[in-house]
Structure 1
């Protein structure tokens, strides 16, 4: 296998007519990293991937692969390989010829390319199916063939566009583990587009959360989960409550702020009086308890209860807070059940309230 390459995206934009799909993003993906571009539909993640691949012309900025600026290179000259969402296998060719196709285009002799294709199918545990056509395979098997076809060119980086979206939930989880194992054993850079937070958390060394053509946060999954950089990241990852207000004052290392039409809360840190502020509180760090330090809790009314097996999700509304989520264990809920319409006291520790940053507009 060829060595992995660092990918350096420098002030890259993509404009379609009057619409900006990608807005001056810069990102370094270290060599050998499993990177997930994560975000809602239309956030610019697929355009970014296609610009790295060379399937999309860059409007401004540069992309470097290793030490080479590849901005104006055609896809075949970049040292990247792309696996498309649809797999795009040739229905009339058997698996060997499907996998060997790019080598045929490069003029590699029949015996050599077929031998390489068999080796790739073996790596994917698909060698027993070598003479079958794509239509005779399951979705998971087709995906393995598409991977083999992408990897046969010996790329420095593999680019994957929503590769798991066509699979059923059980197969998704199995193929997720296969992808991670494959990336670890090959040691090459993977860049994987997904809108699934769970998929990104399970696979990535580096999660890049995109929104509206810009990067909101690029960090290790644990950092994104535990310390979201912005209100968008906190909301999109789905494991934090975001509360917005205006700063009343800062004293003794804490910011005190007021929520419009409601309560006053606090968070560790410093902010100017009168400034707008967003804070995040992990849903699983909130407890049902009247014992809370001032500014680290409120009383709300339970609006919904959702059973999730090992945990229960409570939706609570308080003064100025329409929707606040609390995740409690099934054991804690059984010991002290609550009911829709009941007023309950909520509390959290002072270090569980995080002040969020804002992207400069």
Structure 2
């Protein structure tokens, strides 16, 4: 396997006519990192991936792999490999021949390419299916073959465009475990595009949240979840209440005083599982009404309405909820500990 190398994007920009899809982003992905580019449709994550791969030409800026500027190189010369969302397997070729195909195009002898393809199929635990056609495989098996085909070129970086989106939920969880295990064993960087927050949080050493062609935050999954840099990140990652502050700070948008807020803060984010919900009259700063109750197994999600604020939510442990349950229409007191409040400037 090729030696792992840092990836660096320098003022990278992509325009399609008058539309700017990627807007001067700067990012460094250390060697051996599992990086997820996360964001809604149209945020620029796939265009970014395709510029790294060489399948899109950068309008401005540079892509560096290690010490080499690969911005102008064709895809086959970059030291990267890409696994497409559709897998793009040749339907008339066996698994073995699909994996060996790129070596055939490079003039590698038949004996050597078949030997290397067999070794790669063994690495992804598909040896028993070497002679089958893609149509004879499940979605998860097709994905493994596509992975083997990408990895046989000995890339320093593997690029994955929403590789799990076509799988059912159970298989998706299993395959993301296999992807992370494979990346750890290979020691190279994986750059994985997804719109699934759960997928990014489960897989990534580095989560890059994108919005409207720009990077809103790039950090570990734990940092992104506990300390979202912007209101967009807090809302997109989910599990947070994002509450606007009155002009001047120090008070919520409905006028309720909130001590220990920095004067520059314009919003606060509070994780739903850190919300405190109690009976009316409890010594908590807010009063509200229960909008909804959803039983989720280990937890119960409670929707809350508070005058002057956007709808809020609380996630309570199952045992705690049923020890003192609430119902839609009930009045409640609610709040949170000061240390569970994250200010967003």
What residue in structure 1 maps to residue 273 of structure 2? 284
Counterpart-to-counterpart distance in 2, 1:267 and 1:23: 38
Q: How does 1:166-315 map to 2 (within 5 A)?
A: 166-248=166-248, 256-259=250-253, 262-266=254-258, 268-272=260-264, 277-289=266-278, 291-292=282-283, 297-315=285-303
Unaligned runs of 5+ in 2: none
Shift in CA distance, 106/349, structure 1 to aligned 2, threshold 3 Å: same
SS in 2 for 1:341: coil
Give yes or no for contact 1:268–1:353 (8 Å, CA) kept in 2: no
How far, CA to CA, are the matches of 1:175 and 1:21 in structure 2? 30
Alpha carbons 1:263, 1:298 under 8 Å: kept:
no
Q: Can you list the C-alpha shifts for 1:163-207, whole angstroms capped at 9, x where unaligned?
A: 000001110010010000000000000000000000001100000
Q: How does 1:101-140 map to 2 (within 5 A)?
A: 101-140=101-140
Aligned to 2:315: 327
Any idea what the Cα deviations from partners look like across 1:220-275, whole Å, max 9, x if unmatched?
A: 00001111110000001111100012244xxxxxx51241xx23242645225xxx
Write the distance in 2 (CA, Å) between the matches of 1:320 and 1:64: 49
TM-score normalised by length of structure 2: 0.97
SS in 1 for 2:266: strand
Deviations 1:118-177 (A, max 9, x none): 000000110111111101000000000000000000000000000000001110010010
Alpha carbons 1:292, 1:347 under 8 Å: kept: no
Change (3 A) 1:265 1:152: farther
Q: Would you tell me which structure has more strand in proportion to its own residues?
A: 1
Q: Distance in 2 between matches of 1:60 and 1:291?
A: 58
The residue aligned with 2:327 is: 339
Misfit runs of 4+, over 3 Å: 289-293
Matched residues in 2 for 1:292 and 1:62: separation?
A: 56
Mapped to 1, the partners of 2:309 and 2:40 lie a distance apart of: 25
What's the secondary structure of 2:310's corresponding residue? strand
Aligned residues: 343
Which structure 2 residues correspond to residues 21-40 of structure 1 after superposition, within 5 A?
21-40=21-40
Cα-Cα RMSD: 1.2
Where does residue 149 of structure 1 map in the other structure? Answer: 149
Contact 1:263/1:319 (8 A) holds in 2: no
Q: TM-score, normalised by structure 1?
A: 0.93
Q: CA deviation at 1:291?
A: 4.6
**Does the 8 Å contact 1:38/1:210 carry over to 2?**
yes
Deviation at 1:287, TM superposition (A): 1.1
Alpha-carbon distance between aligned partners in 2 of 1:226 and 1:328, rounded to the nearest angstrom: 18
Q: Deviations over 1:5-43 (max 9, x none)?
A: 100000011110111111110000000000000001111
